[in-house]
Amino acid sequence: MHTILMVDDEPDLDILIQQGFRKEIREGIYNFIFARHGAAALELMEQNPDIKLVLTDLNMPEMNGLELLGRLKRQYADLKVLILSAYGDEESRSVALSSGAVDFLTKPIVFSELQAKLKALLS
């Protein structure tokens, strides 16, 4: 089972992820843990050393996705971090990828694309 941390300040995204990946969750392929902001994500990382991948929103209160990415890469060098954002401008994408993100996807999430990314990153 692959444990994935989803960091987004929108609680509705939790439900969408759970619905979009219900088959994989039911079959024990993925286990999703959810956090509303970067500080909570860092706490969950300490409590769950089996997290293999972090999906994080770019724009969040308290700590944005790029700040979280930097902290995660310093503390967990091998951790894979994928950035999600409603703002898919080239500058944000470039900064995220050069800061260590494995990919950058724009919202709204296309589940077939996200499923393919997760499968490739976690296999």
Res. 32 pLDDT band, cuts 50 70 90: very high
Please write the tens of the pLDDT for every residue from 46-60.
999 999 999 999 999
Mean pLDDT of 19-29: 95
**Virtual CA dihedral for 84, 35, 11, 61, nearest 10 degrees?**
-70
* C-alpha dist (Å) from residue 32 to 51, 60, 62: 9, 19, 22
For residue 89, the model assigns a pLDDT of: 80
Is it the case that residue 25 has pLDDT exceeding 90?
yes
For residue 88, the model assigns a pLDDT of: 73
For residue 86, the model assigns a pLDDT of: 86
pTM: 0.94
Mean pLDDT of 89-104: 92
Q: Which domains does the chain have, with CATH numbers?
A: 1-59 (3.40.50.2300)
